[in-house]
Amino acid sequence: MHKHNNLKKWLCGAAIVGGSCLYLSQHSEFLGKNNAKDEKVKTSNVPECVEDTYKLIGYSMTDAFKYGVINSISDYVERAPYKIDTVDFAGDFQNQVIEFGYYEERDGQKTVVLTHINPDTLSIPNASPRLKKMIVDFANYHNSKNERETILAHEFGHQATDPDKKIGASIHLSEKTPHSVFEYNMTAEEFALICNHDELRGRINGLLYKREQYKRYGTSSVFNGEYSFYGRALRDGKINPFSTDPKDIANEQLFCVKAMREQYEKEHIEHYEKYTIKRLNAEHILFDSKKEDEYNKALDQVYTFIWDGHLANLNFYSTGQLPELRLTDEEYAAAATKDARDSSTRNNEGQKPHAPSLYRPQTDNSR
C-alpha cells in the first residue's frame, strides 16, 4: 500500500522533483548478462506455456527470479500484469487521501492496482491559474513513468510476500512460494510486527528499483522524495553500489534497511495502525505452542530481495544487527488483547502458554 495522507508535503518538493522523470528502457540492466546466482538459489526450468512466462502469470517476483524468467526488479515491473484505477483530483491537498497503489483481492484474485490521477480543474471554475497549475503538476508527477514504476515495485514487493495461489495454480513450479508471510505460526504480536515489516519491505523494494535505475543511468536525482537519503549518501561517499567488495556490499545492504526502517518508524507507522489492527483481527491464526514459532521464517521471506542478479536475505532483525521494530501503543494493545484471548483458547485445548512479549515499546522517547 502506497499512499499519502497530507498532499501538502508533496508540494514543497514538486518544483524540484517534478521535472526529473527519467526515461526507462524496456530492458533490464541485467538482461543478457551472466550474473552469478546465490549458490543457495536453484534455478528450475520454466513451464512450457510461453504466454504465461512472457506475462509472468502465476509468478511472484521472487518466484519469477528463481525460475530465470527475470533478472531484476526492473524486469518484473516492466512485464508483470496489474490493473489501473482512476481518481479525480480537484486540489484538496489538505484532506484528500490518495492511494497511489495497492495490493488487494478483486473478483477472487489478489491484484496489484496502480492509481491514475485525473487532474480535475473543471469542478473548481473559480480556482486561480496557480492552483490549477499545481493540480496539473501534481497529477503529471504521480502519473510519470518513473513514479508509477517505483510504486509498482513497492506493490509487487507485497505480492511476493503474500502471493495469490489461485493465479497460475495450474503451473507446476517445484519451488513456488508455498504460503503467505501472514500464514506462519506466530503470536498476535508477531503478526502485527510482520504487517509493519511487510510495508517496510514494499518501501525497500521501491528503493532497490531506483537503485537499479541509478546503476543503469548514473543519475542520482532518481532518488527523490522519501528516497532522497540514498542520493545524499551516494554523494557523500558513504555507499558505493558499484563496489564488488563484500564489506561494501554488506555495508550498503544494512544501510538501506536501517535508513528505511528509521524513516518508517518516524513518519509512516501511525498511518498503518488501523490497517494492522484490522488485519490482525481478521487473519491471525491461533498460535500453536506445540509447533515451532515461525516468526523468523516469516522475516526471512519478507526481507528476501533481488539484489544485483541474485537473491539476498536482508533480515538483519533475526541476527540482532537491528533492533526490533516498535509497535504503536494501539497496535500493541490490540495484539496483547488477541494474545490473551488466544492464550485462553490454548489453555482450554491443553497447550502450553507462549513466552511473554519481547517487543513492548518503551514509554520514553522511543517515538
pLDDT in tens, 76-108: 999 999 999 999 999 887 788 889 999 998 888
The whole-number pLDDT of residue 185 equals 97
Q: Phi, psi at residue 91, to the nearest 5°? A: 95, 15
Across the range 104-116, mean pLDDT stands at 90
Output the pTM of the full model: 0.82
Across the range 45-65, mean pLDDT stands at 76
Q: Are 256 and 207 in contact (CB under 8 A)?
A: yes
Cell matching residue 287: 498460535
For the stretch 210-252, pLDDT in tens is 999 999 988 888 998 899 999 999 999 999 999 999 999 999 9
The whole-number pLDDT of residue 176 equals 77
Closest CA to 63 of 311, 318, 239, 359: 311
For the stretch 145-156, pLDDT in tens is 989 999 999 999
187 φ/ψ sector (left φ>0, alpha ψ -120 to 50, else beta): beta
Residue 363 has pLDDT above 50, yes or no: no
Residue 329 has pLDDT above 60, yes or no: yes
Is pLDDT larger for residue 27 or for residue 39?
39
